[in-house]
């Protein structure tokens, strides 16, 4: 759904309608939302395994979390690039510009959720 929405957004040089903007936002938030939820569950499991002292499981969870973080960063960067390169420049109305800037802030916040302090500062 996310890749279709990206192609759709790039296909026209005119502003997206409210309905089209909502579809695009929901598509990407659904893709990112499942990974964010998985990352939070893994963080909880990692803390519990760390308390138990199970280093082997902690390492497995860390590796899987890193994979999810990589996927999240890639997806978020794709939508951020789409916003910067296509959607914001093609927006004529103030309403559309505000919508896309809010969307950009949301996806930067998603990256910041799992970033280290140095990366958080850069994203902010």
Please give the domain boundaries of the chain with CATH numbers for all domains: 2-123 (1.20.190.20)
List, for residues 18-46, the tens digit of each pLDDT value.
999 999 999 999 999 999 999 999 999 99
> Of 69, 10, 15, whose CA–CA distance to 38 is shortest?
69
> Of 74, 75, 97, whose CA–CA distance to 84 is shortest?
97
CB 24 within 8 A of CB 8: yes
CB 107 within 8 A of CB 32: yes
Instruction: Say whether pTM exceeds 0.75.
Output: yes
> Of 88, 121, 120, whose CA–CA distance to 104 is shortest?
88
pLDDT tier at 121 (50, 70, 90 boundaries)?
A: confident
Residue 102 has pLDDT above 60, yes or no: yes
């Amino acid at each position: 759904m996310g890749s279709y929405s990206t192609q759709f957004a790039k296909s026209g040089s005119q502003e997206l309608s409210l309905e089209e903007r909502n579809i695009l936002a929901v598509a990407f938030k659904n893709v990112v939302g499942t990974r964010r939820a998985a990352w939070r569950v893994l963080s909880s499991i990692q803390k519990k395994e760390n308390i138990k002292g199970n280093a082997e499981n902690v390492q497995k969870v860390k590796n899987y979390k890193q994979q999810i973080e990589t996927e999240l960063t890639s997806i978020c960067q794709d939508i951020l690039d789409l916003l910067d390169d296509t959607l914001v420049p093609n927006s004529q109305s103030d309403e559309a510009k505000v919508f896309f800037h809010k969307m950009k802030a949301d996806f930067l916040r998603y990256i910041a959720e799992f970033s280290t302090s140095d990366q958080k500062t850069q994203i902010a």
